Amino acid sequence: MLVSSVRHLRQRAEIAWTQAPAWLIVSPLVLLGAVLRFYRIESNGLNLDEAWSLWMVKHSTVDIVRKIWFESGDATPPTYYVLLHGFISLGDGLVALRALSVIAGALTVWLVFRLAADLFGPRAAALSAFLVAIAPLQIEYSQEARAYALAQLLDVLSLYFLARLLLGDGQRRNWVGSGAPHEVGNG
């Protein structure tokens, strides 16, 4: 009797898990990722690399690209600085300066879920997204005003479109999407 009750509950849980809308599974994971990335975001002061980012984004977008490509020797793709240039219109405090990376890190949690769901199903997707949400290095990179979190997001986006291609969805957007985010992110 007890075994059959447990078996019945397990079957119902399995049905609920596989039929749950994806947003219901991924939303708490993205929220967890965002909260962990915003938690104590101001605890460390501005480091030298972040000060460089702040200095770069104080220039016009044309000057940013010119300085990256011709003057500074900075290996950071100009895409990050151009996005951050627009983003700091909210302010140039530490939170505003680092928020672009936090958002990119939280979006990476969502995109990892989508990628893993397409490849391995909803359980693996939830586990993958959870691991990205709580990974200390992911959190650290998402709390820096540098291009690391954006690069991760764009690389996972490329992988997502590549997986769609390999799974047989040969639509043009997947062909373009498998390479474009990587190229945009790398300047």
pTM above threshold 0.85: no
Among 11-25, 61-75, 106-120, 153-167, the range with the most confident prediction by mean pLDDT is 106-120
Q: Tens of pLDDT along 151-167?
A: 999 989 988 888 888 88
What helix, strand, coil percent values describe the chain, rounded to 5?
80, 0, 20
Q: For residue 126, how far is the Cα from the chain centroid?
A: 15
The domain locations on the chain are 25-185
Residue-level pLDDT at 164: 83
Residue type, 44: N
Q: What percent of the chain lies above the pLDDT cut of 90? A: 35
User: Which of the four pLDDT bands, split at 50, 70 and 90, describes residue 93?
Assistant: confident
